[in-house]
Amino acid sequence: MLGVHKAVFPVAGIDTRFLPATKASPKEMLPVIDKPLIQYAVEEAIAAGITELIFVTGRGKRVIEDHFDKSYEVEHVLRARGNQKLVELVQSIKPPEVECVYVRQAEPLGLGHAVLCAEKLIDGEPFAIILADDLLTGQPPVLAQMVHIFSHYDSSVLAVEEFASHEASSHGVIDGRHWDERVINVSSIVEKPTPEAAPSSFGVAGRYVLMPSIFEHLRALVPAGNGEIQLTPAIHSMLKDEQVLAYEFVGKRYDCGTKLGYLQATVDFALRHAEVQDAFDAWLHDRLRSSHPSVGESGLSGGQAGPGIFPPH
Ligand code: UTP
């Protein structure tokens, strides 16, 4: 059985959809409640057994390195204040058994190009790619589910979910045949088709476990008119030579690369956050009742009073 020990986090995009917040700070550092998106992604990777985290960074992304680095000043101040709990919280951001490596993408020439920047570090092993702006919840965590499928079938695996037809143009969309309830043998994949041209209603969420042969296909691609190299056409090219599977993960995706998805994640995570859930639930309930009097008396987070508006995860 093949193991997966390395994960690539491409974080070198220009983040136009969150300007001005992302003018000087990367979107991967946007917090959902009290944790940046990139930390949720790293925790998911570690839960899947990943021990080498490879960040493909670009201009203005230094703060990501700082986040996973030791901070003597912060720890010193917290210790001096006797706040051992916070010292441990800060230290737990990067467990000692995990190594962080950084490689720079000099120009934002597309996701495929960013992945190519990590080729030397991958060194011929199967590896995961995690796009941190897709925040995925699942139990077990989604990447762990995928590593299980990868090891079982010895094939590259793409995380997919069903989407509404009007959303086709914001996904890579696959075609293929179901092997079982959740595993699809992929026959083609297209990047952001029009709803009419979409071959199915299964779109790729930002998680991949790939064989290292992807690099040959990335290198052989002719850059698009804007100079970018995308990952989707390289995966399509891979299909000529080898099997690629899509896996309908068990869990929920929040597209935190969009304002709406980011807000949805913030609300759902707040309704499950031990420190704020009760007060936030009560506030949100009052807020909704004042604008929608038909909202009932039960809490929104699905507590004892009723099923709630938001599903438990
Ligand atoms: P996006 O398509 O979300 O682009 O990239 P973006 O620049 O990050 O954001 P918007 O759309 O302008 O708001 C998908 C992923 O690929 C990475 C991004 O950091 C993101 O994780 N990426 C994209 C790179 O690392 N390098 C690139 O050249 C392009």
Q: Which atom of ligand 1 is nearest to the CA of 11?
A: 19
CATH code at 119? Answer: 3.90.550.10
Domain range for 30: 6-255
42 within some domain: yes
Q: Which atom of ligand 1 is nearest to the CA of 113?
A: 28
282 within some domain: no
286 within some domain: no
Q: What is the pLDDT along the chain (313 residues), one digit of tens a residue?
A: 568 999 999 999 988 999 999 998 999 999 999 999 999 999 999 999 999 999 999 987 889 999 999 989 999 999 999 999 999 999 999 999 999 999 999 999 999 999 999 999 999 999 999 999 999 999 999 999 999 999 999 999 999 999 987 887 888 999 999 999 999 999 999 999 999 999 999 999 999 999 999 999 999 999 888 899 999 999 999 999 999 999 999 999 999 999 999 999 999 999 999 999 999 999 999 998 888 777 665 555 554 433 333 444 4
CA distance 48 to 151: 12
Nearest CA to 97 out of 164, 155, 49, 29 is that of 49
Return left, alpha or beta for 281; rule: phi > 0 is left, psi -120 to 50 is alpha, else beta.
alpha
74 within some domain: yes
264 within some domain: no
CA of 109 to the centre of ligand 1 (A): 9
CA of 106 to the centre of ligand 1 (A): 14
1: its two tokens: 């059985």
Ligand 1 pocket mutation, candidates 8, 9, 15, criterion most atoms within 8 A of CB: 15
pLDDT of residue 4: 96
CA of 11 to the centre of ligand 1 (A): 7
Kindly give, in sequence order, each residue whose CB lies less than 8 Å from that of residue 82, ignoring residues fewer than 6 positions away.
none
Using DSSP's 3-state secondary structure scheme, residue 202 falls into strand
pLDDT of residue 270: 97
pLDDT of residue 296: 62
How many Cβ atoms sit within 10 Å of the Cβ of residue 2?
12
Using DSSP's 3-state secondary structure scheme, residue 35 falls into strand
pTM for the whole thing? Answer: 0.92
pLDDT of residue 164: 86
CA of 138 to the centre of ligand 1 (A): 24
In the chain, the DSSP E strands lie at 6-10, 31-32, 35-36, 52-57, 99-104, 127-130, 134-137, 156-162, 172-178, 183-191, 202-210, 244-248, 252-255
26 within some domain: yes
CA distance 32 to 40: 9
299 within some domain: no
For the chain, how many structural domains are there in total? 1
pLDDT of residue 293: 75
pLDDT of residue 78: 94
pLDDT of residue 11: 96
294 within some domain: no
pLDDT of residue 309: 39
